[in-house]
Amino acid sequence: MDQLFLVDAGVLLTNWTQKNPEYPLATTSTIIDEIKNRPSIQRIESLISLDRLVIEDVDEIWIQEVRSAATETGDIAVLSSPDIDLLALAVQKFRSNVEVTVVSTDMAVLNTAHFIGLEILNPRGNMKHDIRWILKCPACGNSSANIDVVECIVCGTEMKRRPASRRRIK
């Protein structure tokens, strides 16, 4: 089975794809739409013409699955819509028995992908931990596992996102 590498906009803006010429790549059209600079667009066009990069759209059902996973990890608040589409495409491929690795430098993308059970790769280095978030009040220290809470129920201060627990990624 071939390994497919799902790349986000941050990775497509670097020369990571050129440094790893043997990797088959895939991404979504919403990720491609985020790329505005000419050299990166040319690099993407060349990857497509070499059949190294496939651009696919994703079914809504997988978007919903990623949204619910990201709600559990607390990453939903910081994931962009293209990020969610990319993760959904990864899940779609994974569920049809394609081995996928999500390539990103974005901690929220990597954390959610890992939580779902996907392989992850951070070109900027190794991600040592995955994170579940809680909200903590910077004024009184009250914390909430419900990441939809905006203001502290004790004192009304705006809650801040903090890592709740760290588990080592094997």
Under the rule (CB under 5 A), what is the footprint of Zn ion?
137, 139-140, 142, 152, 154-155, 157
Burial of 73 (0-12, 13-18, 19+ CB in 10 A): buried
- Min dist. Cβ of residue 146 to Zn ion (A): 14
- Min dist. Cβ of residue 133 to Zn ion (A): 17
Residue 154 or residue 169: which is nearer to Zn ion going by CB? 154
Residue 124 or residue 162: which is nearer to Zn ion going by CB? 162
- Min dist. Cβ of residue 161 to Zn ion (A): 15
- Alpha-helix residue ranges (DSSP H) falling in the chain: 9-12, 16-19, 29-32, 38-49, 60-73, 81-95, 107-116
Residue 71 or residue 144: which is nearer to Zn ion going by CB? 144
- Min dist. Cβ of residue 148 to Zn ion (A): 16
Backbone angles phi, psi at 158, to 5 degrees: -65, 130
Region of 130 on the Ramachandran plot (φ > 0 left; ψ -120 to 50 alpha; else beta): beta
